[in-house]
Amino acid sequence: MEFFLSTTTTLISMWVALYVALLMLVAKTDLSINRKMLIVPLTFLLLYVTISDTINLFGYPYDGYPNGEFQIVSHRVDETKTIVLWVRNEDGDRLYRFPYDEKTKKALDKSAKKTKDGVRQMGKFGEQQNQDDQGNRNSSMTRGNSRSLKVYDFPHQERLPKTPN
């Protein structure tokens, strides 16, 4: 089984290990049972707050495709054959994760080359091509449901002159 460790999951794993070690130390001390029973729930509450704050601070990708038009910032394909796409849209900078598709990967690679040459790239996903799973809420993350990606140059590129480095 392939397991991808991002910064967020690494930090969360470290926090859980730290709190487990803390609870083991509390169990070994000669504190009264009442104090131990107070420390354990407080530790779990602190663990929950730490994990939620870590996720809010570092972020986590949305499962599914971005809606509407967006500017493509970057992309990568991870070990689980999932495309992670960083876009800028009306909601700000967002990270999306969706199933690997060869056509989408080729379009994103082409847009990355143009972006490297200084031409901003815009994109928009089309409608679902497979309508078999209409009742499934999580159907956007199944391998059978791919959406076509339309990539094009930023329409006002000539109005934004590049400054020399």
**Interval 135-157: pLDDT, tens:** 444 444 555 566 888 888 877 65
**Dist CA 111 CA 26 (whole Å):** 55
Q: Which residue has the higher pLDDT, 165 or 87?
A: 87
User: What's the pLDDT at 4?
Assistant: 42
User: What's the pLDDT at 135?
Assistant: 43
User: What's the pLDDT at 70?
Assistant: 92
Compute how many other C-beta atoms are within 10 angstroms of the C-beta atom of residue 41. 9
Closest to 149 (Cα-Cα) out of 112, 128, 119, 123: 123
Compute how many other C-beta atoms are within 10 angstroms of the C-beta atom of residue 47. 18
Report domain extents, the chain: 7-58, 62-159
Average pLDDT on 38-60 reads 83
Average pLDDT on 121-132 reads 73
Q: Which residue has the higher pLDDT, 7 or 54?
A: 54
* Cβ burial, residue 7 (10 Å; 0-12/13-18/19+): exposed
Provide, rounded to the nearest whole percent, the portion of the chain with pLDDT above 90: 5
CB 66 within 8 A of CB 96: yes
